[in-house]
Homo-oligomer: A and B are copies of this chain.
């Protein structure tokens, strides 16, 4: 299995974390340097025409992309430990929490969007930070309300087991930190994220632990 990744990609972080939790080690990790635009080169475009990370290529040539789809696939093909609960209502809640991050927040701060804002609208670094902070604040507020207001929340987002929601929420906290969003006003989010980082599968998946990463974000 080949894993197309970049240290900073938060979508790649999610899949890396899921792979770690499942105990799956890719045979090869291929670095696609996003700031250098390597995702737009023909060789990667053939793998994912959307030119986005991550992608997984299985030994039989099967190509997987989109982090949520990959995590569901890994969960279906490697059921232990499960990353989704069994009951439909609980699954829907976990997926919705994950999608607040992966659909409503992260897509707004990916490189291609920041490049558009910079090149088309001449938004400077401070403006880009305000943009990123705005969307992270919005999702942190929503996540805190949903997590603190539900009896379904346990040690993790859904009860006491790690799910894809925790993976997404932990990734969102990395994004929030990058944009200098303070997570302190969101104590339930903070508590769960802090617990996630104590898990070796999360810690090893952290962007700053990947080859090519700088010392800090």
Interface core residue of A93, A96, A130 (most chain B CB under 10 Å): A96
Report the nearest B residue to A102, measured CB to CB: B103
Majority-rule SS of A interface residues: helix
Instruction: Find chain B residues with CB under 8 A from A120 CB.
Output: 130-131
Check if A66 sits within 8 Å of B145, measured CB to CB. Answer: no
Give the complex CA separation of A131 and B112 in angstroms.
12
A10-39 to B contact mask, C-beta < 8 Å, 1/0: 000000000000000000000000000000
| Known contacts A68-B95, A70-B92, A92-B72; A49/B146 CB under 8 A | yes
In residues 40-54 of chain A, which contact B (Cβ within 8 Å)? 48-52
Which stretch, A134-142, A173-181, A187-195, A196-204, touches the partner chain B? Answer: A134-142
Copies in the complex: 2
5 new A-B pairs (CB below 8 Å) besides A65-B96, A66-B95, A73-B88? A64-B96, A66-B99, A66-B103, A107-B108, A120-B131
Instruction: Find chain B residues with CB under 8 A from A48 CB.
Output: 142
> Range of interface residues on chain A?
35 or more
* A100 within 8 A of partner (CB): yes
Q: Which of B50, B95, B107, B146 contacts A142 (CB 8 A)?
A: B50
